């Protein structure tokens, strides 16, 4: 028997392996198997086919081991993997690599360690020479598969490892390969001697003079009704639930030592749900009720429906209703959210409602946690997942609804590495495979999605009113040119914004300040000679971070200290240019010394809980002003925010990219939407030097429809999506000239081959060097409706291969990005 395996490598084919006789009965499509790949690599593959045809070109190696008893991925999921690979012009192996959590993939990087129970100092009798060498090394180090293969200089180390694990000398292969470790909890219960309960009453008498130990007993009995129900003792009580208030650790230790209590461990779900929480009953408003009905109607004709509901219109409650209905009818549900929105409010809200039937899939989760969600979806324990873009890879087999919240958000797009997919678009394809419905939701729909709705390809449902009494905030512009002339600008702040902040603080209301640049200032320069410090690896200037007292590259992380003197002219007049969140935070502290200012950006939210802590404090009113990057724009819902200040709207609008107007409109509208979400009407102050810019006028009046009309006209005129499809090829190399030459060759070849397709470039992208790689890019504009997309992509790949055949171009990298964002 032979099995075809999908391996996590960027080679566009499957690999055939021989199934060992003993496994004949056990192999199934969808299981994971360990195989040797090439000379020394060990990889985990997925079985995608089983047959009896030996491969023609090579002698098939044996499968080394089968990791699963049941398939680890579903049939439909595999079809989706294949679709992603085809559409995003990469290999299925790359999709597998991105899709499977690391804990499910044993590879050459997997670790082997000495079994702690094995006594190494005994004479290594009965071990081969190689085994001995390995064991002596493992005494000091944990080694990876590839380390071992190097150390022993043998091709297949599998037999050696197998023999050693058979002798229980190394930690079992089985255990090492499953990096996944279940989470356990320490629990306490009475030892058998004290059940039945008469014994407990006796016990109290003997402990009369030991009040602290008595306290422990009482606490336990209070939480576990052993006296009423002896069986209750079996499950015991979590140690941490017992050790509350002033229960003494040492008394518990004594009780355990005296065999009154015992401690034991149980495996617990990684996501602790407080099951006893009350479920809040929420009744939909008339508008919400109506919108929901329309969505249902729309689903009849349009499996994809767009819900365009302004900020604060109560879209989430509608999602919750739809999700509940879908779950009740037995299907699975996926709720996609942009990265950062996930860590907070919404999860708590949903946890209360869906409890342990809900899985969470998030990039700040450990690999163990991801594996757990994966397995729960596979076994059907979890039918509802709320997650970030990568949750589209989970092993669903029966989706009935996918909600894509904030569908316009660019964090649905994966940039690096392949597959460079957009989770929103994959979701639509998935729904197609599963015969499921998709609800795209946004207050600021992407131009692409809105266009589809206008074309009647998607359904469209609108919610034009905020929930309850809340009104949209009033937006005013602070004209920086006028203020500068009048000299009323203080630091980076207009007098208009300062006045409004002061008023809000006086009324004990909260303020959000949005500035989409982190650090203190994006650049410093010498006032005498104009010198600007640049990154040594990238073609960008270094951002000054005051807190770290360093100049930092935001592209590669390169760091250097701030020079006292200009290195070219020794002048001391070095000044900062422009401003980021750090500088605004500093100024706010200066102007409003009594207010508590909190910054929220990449720096302050690095830790797993950083983001949540900041949000919680703000929610409780412990912080007065929140200043941050676009993190503050996403999905937050606070009671007391009445003022939002927007900095640098100009930079957003003038950014040289065809999507910059759309982005600016979305960001400004979204951050404005954080203001006045309850009774009090909010206010938004936008600082700008181009107050007549149409984008600002649209945001001012909340005219999405007009914004769309202008934007779609521009897109049509300039052949941009949704009227064309874009494919971008980026060429990377450490030598600028080589990079240029290869780019020219590729562009020429593409132009010869592809007629009717506009090919722009090669040209330098805005940042022309990153991490010592020079970049060139070629943009293909493919008219909509050209069917032969697959052929086209094959063509591109063939052209790339042809160029790379040239000897001098060997080490060039060419990256294909379909629908770049
Ligand atoms: P959106 O996601 O559209 O911006 P949300 O779903 O966050 O808006 O709703 C805005 C606010 O209104 C939230 O605080 C939410 O709790 C509240 N809300 C929405 N619908 C209801 C309802 N039917 N009953 C009570 N409160 C609601
Ligand atoms: Zn100088
Ligand atoms: Zn750099």
Mutation test residue for ligand 1: of 467, 468, 678, the one with most atoms within 8 Å of CB: 467
d(CA 137, CA 132): 9
- Counting ligands in written order, the one closest to the CA of 773 is 3
Tens digit of each residue's pLDDT (9 = 90 or more) over 8-38: 888 888 999 999 888 888 899 999 998 888 8
Atom of ligand 1 nearest to the CA of 284: 23
Atom of ligand 1 nearest to the CA of 309: 3
d(CA 404, CA 358): 16
The mean pLDDT value for 675-693 works out to 91
254 neighbors 291 (Cβ within 8 angstroms): no
Atom of ligand 1 nearest to the CA of 639: 14
Q: Evaluate if residue 296 carries a pLDDT over 60.
A: yes
Span from the CA of 333 to the centroid of ligand 1 (angstroms): 21
d(CA 146, CA 152): 10
Sequence-ordered alpha helix ranges (H) in 140-197: 145-152, 158-166, 173-177
Partner residues linked to 361 by β-bridges: 387
Please state the three-class secondary structure of 689-756 as a single string.
CCCCCHHHHHHHHCCHHHHHHHHHHHHHHCCCCCCEEEEEEEEEECCHHHHHHHHHHHHHHHHHHCCC
Percent of the chain, pLDDT > 90?
A: 61
Q: In terms of pTM, does the model score above 0.85?
A: no
> What pLDDT score was predicted for residue 817?
97
Partner residues linked to 49 by β-bridges: 4
Taking the CA of residue 480 as centre, how many other CA atoms within 13 Å lie in the half-sphere pointing to its CB?
15
d(CA 578, CA 521): 5
Mutation test residue for ligand 1: of 316, 672, 704, the one with most atoms within 8 Å of CB: 316
620 neighbors 507 (Cβ within 8 angstroms): no
First to last CA, the chain: 45
- Counting ligands in written order, the one closest to the CA of 346 is 1
Q: Evaluate if residue 574 carries a pLDDT over 60.
A: yes
Atom of ligand 1 nearest to the CA of 673: 4
Strands 543-545 and 683-688: unpaired
Torsion of CA 655, 661, 666, 668, to 10 degrees: 70
Span from the CA of 523 to the centroid of ligand 2 (angstroms): 14
Mutation test residue for ligand 1: of 312, 322, 640, the one with most atoms within 8 Å of CB: 312
Atom of ligand 1 nearest to the CA of 311: 4
Q: Evaluate if residue 682 carries a pLDDT over 70.
A: yes
Taken in order 629, 633, 639, 640, is the CA torsion positive or negative? Answer: positive
> What pLDDT score was predicted for residue 724?
93
pLDDT band for position 457 (cuts 50, 70, 90): very high
> What pLDDT score was predicted for residue 634?
79
Q: Evaluate if residue 475 carries a pLDDT over 60.
A: yes
Tens digit of each residue's pLDDT (9 = 90 or more) over 521-570: 999 999 999 999 999 999 999 999 998 899 999 999 999 999 999 999 99
Percent of the chain, pLDDT > 70?
A: 94
Nearest CA to ligand 1 atom 20: 314
d(CA 176, CA 229): 42
Taken in order 42, 47, 53, 57, is the CA torsion positive or negative? Answer: negative
pLDDT band for position 340 (cuts 50, 70, 90): low
Span from the CA of 553 to the centroid of ligand 2 (angstroms): 21
Nearest CA to ligand 1 atom 19: 314
**More confident of the two residues 640 and 244:** 640
Give Cα 249 to chain centroid, integer Å. Answer: 40
If one counts every other C-beta atom within 10 angstroms of the C-beta of residue 740, the result is 16
Of 135-149, 210-224, 423-437, 523-537, the poorest mean pLDDT is in: 135-149
Nearest CA to ligand 1 atom 21: 314
- Nearest Cα to Cα of residue 467 among 270, 253, 315, 637: 315
Span from the CA of 522 to the centroid of ligand 2 (angstroms): 18
Instruction: Tell me the C-alpha to C-alpha distance, in Å, between residue 252 and each of 109, 259, 260, 263, 482.
Output: 43, 11, 10, 10, 71
Span from the CA of 573 to the centroid of ligand 2 (angstroms): 8
d(CA 626, CA 93): 43
Q: Evaluate if residue 270 carries a pLDDT over 80.
A: no
Span from the CA of 621 to the centroid of ligand 2 (angstroms): 46
Span from the CA of 524 to the centroid of ligand 3 (angstroms): 16
Of 178-182, 323-327, 564-568, 702-706, the poorest mean pLDDT is in: 178-182
The three-class DSSP label of residue 221 is: helix
The mean pLDDT value for 349-374 works out to 84
Span from the CA of 456 to the centroid of ligand 1 (angstroms): 28
Span from the CA of 308 to the centroid of ligand 1 (angstroms): 15
Tally: H helices and E strands in the chain: 27, 33
> What pLDDT score was predicted for residue 64?
83
- Counting ligands in written order, the one closest to the CA of 559 is 3
> What pLDDT score was predicted for residue 111?
73
Mutation test residue for ligand 1: of 290, 310, 314, the one with most atoms within 8 Å of CB: 314
Span from the CA of 534 to the centroid of ligand 3 (angstroms): 8
Of 55-64, 304-313, 364-373, the poorest mean pLDDT is in: 364-373
Span from the CA of 533 to the centroid of ligand 3 (angstroms): 11
Q: Evaluate if residue 108 carries a pLDDT over 80.
A: no
Tens digit of each residue's pLDDT (9 = 90 or more) over 509-522: 999 999 999 999 99
Span from the CA of 528 to the centroid of ligand 2 (angstroms): 5
The mean pLDDT value for 342-370 works out to 80
The mean pLDDT value for 375-398 works out to 95
Span from the CA of 426 to the centroid of ligand 2 (angstroms): 51
- Angle (deg, nearest 10), helices 581-591 and 495-506: 60
**More confident of the two residues 499 and 232:** 499
Instruction: Tell me the C-alpha to C-alpha distance, in Å, between residue 414 and each of 390, 776, 820.
Output: 9, 20, 9
- Counting ligands in written order, the one closest to the CA of 567 is 2
- Residues near ion ligand 3 (Cβ under 5 Å): 535, 537-538, 553, 555-556, 558
d(CA 51, CA 266): 42
Residue with tokens 């702690």: 116
Give Cα 65 to chain centroid, integer Å. Answer: 32
Structural tokens at position 191: 């030892």
> What pLDDT score was predicted for residue 177?
38
Atom of ligand 1 nearest to the CA of 313: 3
- Counting ligands in written order, the one closest to the CA of 534 is 3
Nearest CA to ligand 1 atom 17: 314
Q: Return mean pLDDT, the chain.
A: 89
- Residues near ion ligand 2 (Cβ under 5 Å): 526, 528-529, 531, 566, 568-569, 571
The mean pLDDT value for 479-489 works out to 96
Nearest CA to ligand 1 atom 14: 637
Nearest CA to ligand 1 atom 18: 314
Nearest CA to ligand 1 atom 4: 312
Q: For residue 203, which phi and psi values (nearest 5 degrees)?
A: -55, -40
Residues with CB under 6 A from ligand 1: 282-285, 288, 309, 311-317, 467, 637, 677
> What pLDDT score was predicted for residue 533?
95
d(CA 723, CA 258): 78
> What pLDDT score was predicted for residue 276?
45
Span from the CA of 770 to the centroid of ligand 3 (angstroms): 6
514 neighbors 647 (Cβ within 8 angstroms): yes
Nearest CA to ligand 1 atom 1: 312
Nearest CA to ligand 1 atom 15: 314
172 neighbors 164 (Cβ within 8 angstroms): no
Atom of ligand 1 nearest to the CA of 463: 3
Of 45-59, 233-247, 257-271, 622-636, the poorest mean pLDDT is in: 257-271
d(CA 441, CA 107): 40
d(CA 26, CA 64): 14
Span from the CA of 769 to the centroid of ligand 3 (angstroms): 9
- Counting ligands in written order, the one closest to the CA of 292 is 1
**More confident of the two residues 613 and 42:** 613
- Counting ligands in written order, the one closest to the CA of 670 is 1
Taking the CA of residue 139 as centre, how many other CA atoms within 13 Å lie in the half-sphere pointing to its CB?
11
Tens digit of each residue's pLDDT (9 = 90 or more) over 31-90: 999 888 887 677 889 999 999 999 988 889 988 888 888 899 999 999 999 999 999 999
- Nearest Cα to Cα of residue 482 among 684, 690, 741: 690
Taken in order 336, 341, 343, 345, is the CA torsion positive or negative? Answer: negative
Span from the CA of 764 to the centroid of ligand 2 (angstroms): 29
Q: Which residues, 6 or more positions from 561, have their beta carbon under 8 angstroms from its beta carbon? A: 549, 550, 551
- Counting ligands in written order, the one closest to the CA of 528 is 2
Q: Evaluate if residue 158 carries a pLDDT over 80.
A: no
Structural tokens at position 787: 């069917």
430 neighbors 399 (Cβ within 8 angstroms): yes
- Counting ligands in written order, the one closest to the CA of 441 is 1
Q: Evaluate if residue 656 carries a pLDDT over 90.
A: no
Span from the CA of 469 to the centroid of ligand 1 (angstroms): 11
């Amino acid at each position: 028997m032979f099995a075809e395996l999908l391996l996590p490598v960027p080679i566009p084919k499957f690999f055939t392996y021989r199934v060992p006789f003993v496994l004949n009965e056990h192999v199934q499509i969808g299981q994971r198997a360990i195989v040797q790949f090439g000379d020394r690599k060990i990889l985990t593959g997925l079985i995608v086919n089983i047959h009896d045809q030996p491969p023609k070109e090579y002698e098939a190696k044996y499968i080394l081991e089968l990791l699963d008893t049941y398939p680890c991925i579903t049939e439909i999921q595999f079809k989706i993997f294949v679709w992603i690979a085809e559409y995003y012009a990469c290999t299925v192996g790359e999709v597998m690599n991105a899709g499977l959590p690391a804990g499910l993939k044993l590879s050459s990087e997997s670790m082997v360690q000495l079994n702690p129970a094995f006594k190494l100092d005994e004479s290594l009798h009965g071990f081969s020479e190689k085994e001995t060498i390995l064991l002596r090394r493992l005494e000091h180090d944990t080694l990876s598969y590839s380390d071992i293969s190097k150390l022993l200089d043998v091709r297949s180390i599998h037999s050696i490892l197998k023999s050693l694990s058979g002798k229980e000398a190394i930690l079992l292969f089985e255990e090492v390969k499953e990096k996944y470790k279940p989470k356990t909890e320490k629990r306490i219960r009475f030892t058998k001697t004290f059940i039945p309960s008469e014994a407990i009453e006796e016990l109290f008498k003997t402990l009369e003079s030991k009040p602290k130990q008595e306290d422990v007993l009482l606490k336990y009995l209070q939480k576990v009704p052993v006296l009423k129900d002896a069986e209750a003792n079996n499950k015991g009580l979590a140690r941490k639930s017992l050790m509350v208030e002033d229960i003494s650790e040492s008394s518990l230790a004594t009780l355990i030592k005296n065999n009154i209590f015992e401690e034991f461990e149980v495996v617990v779900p990684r996501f602790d749900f407080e099951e006893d929480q009350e479920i809040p009953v929420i009744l939909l408003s008339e508008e919400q009720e109506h919108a929901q009905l329309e969505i249902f109607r729309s689903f009849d004709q349009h499996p994809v429906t767009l819900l365009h509901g302004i900020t604060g219109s109560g879209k989430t409650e509608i999602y919750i209703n739809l999700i509940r209905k879908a779950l009740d009818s037995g299907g699975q549900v996926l709720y996609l959210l942009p990265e950062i929105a996930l860590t907070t409010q919404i999860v708590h809200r949903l946890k209360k409602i869906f409890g342990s039937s809900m899985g969470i899939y998030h990039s700040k989760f450990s690999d163990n946690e991801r594996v757990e969600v994966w397995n729960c979806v596979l076994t059907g324990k979890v039918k509802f997942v709320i997650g970030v873009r990568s949750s589209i890879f989970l092993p669903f087999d029966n989706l009935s609804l996918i909600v894509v919240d904030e569908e316009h958000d660019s964090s649905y797009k994966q940039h690096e590495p392949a597959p460079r997919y957009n989770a929103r678009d994959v979701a639509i394809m998935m729904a197609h495979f599963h015969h499921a419905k998709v609800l795209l939701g946004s207050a600021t729909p992407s131009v692409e999605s809105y266009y589809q709705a206008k074309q009647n390809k998607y359904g469209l449902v609108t919610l034009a009113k905020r929930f309850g009494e809340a009104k949209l905030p009033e937006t005013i512009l602070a004209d920086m040119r006028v203020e500068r002339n009048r000299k009323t600008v203080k630091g980076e702040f207009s007098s208009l914004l300062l006045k409004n902040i002061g008023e809000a603080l006086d009324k004990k209301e909260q303020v959000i300040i949005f500035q989409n640049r982190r650090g203190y200032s994006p650049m410093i320069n010498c006032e005498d000679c104009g010198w600007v410090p640049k990154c040594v690896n990238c073609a960008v200037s270094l951002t000054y971070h005051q807190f770290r007292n360093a100049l930092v590259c935001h592209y590669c992380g390169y760091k250097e200290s701030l020079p006292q003197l200009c290195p070219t002219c020794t002048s001391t007049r070095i000044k900062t240019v422009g401003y980021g969140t750090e500088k605004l935070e500093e100024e706010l502290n200066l102007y409003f010394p009594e207010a508590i200012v909190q910054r929220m950006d990449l720096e302050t939210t690095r830790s797993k809980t950083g983001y949540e802590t900041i949000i919680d404090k703000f929610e409780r009113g412990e912080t007065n002003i929140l200043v941050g990057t676009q993190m503050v724009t996403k999905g937050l819902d606070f009671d007391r925010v009445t003022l939002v200040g927007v900095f640098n709207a100009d930079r957003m609008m003038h950014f040289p990219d065809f999507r910059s107007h759309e982005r600016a409109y979305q960001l400004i509208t979204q951050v404005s939407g954080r203001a006045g979400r309850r009774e009090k009407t909010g206010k938004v102050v936008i600082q700008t030097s181009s107050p007549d810019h149409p984008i600002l006028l649209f945001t001012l009046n909340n005219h999405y429809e007009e914004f769309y009309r202008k934007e779609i006209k521009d897109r049509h005129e300039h052949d941009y999506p949704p009227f064309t499809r874009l494919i971008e090829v980026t060429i990377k190399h450490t030598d600028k000239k080589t990079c240029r030459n290869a780019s020219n060759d590729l562009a020429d070849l593409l132009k010869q081959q592809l007629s009717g397709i506009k090919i722009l470039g090669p040209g330098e992208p805005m940042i022309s060097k990153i991490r010592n790689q020079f970049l060139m890019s070629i943009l293909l504009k493919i008219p909509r409706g050209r069917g032969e997309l697959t052929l086209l992509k094959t063509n591109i790949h063939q052209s790339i291969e042809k160029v790379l055949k040239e000897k001098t171009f060997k080490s060039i990298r060419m990256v294909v990005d379909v629908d770049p964002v």
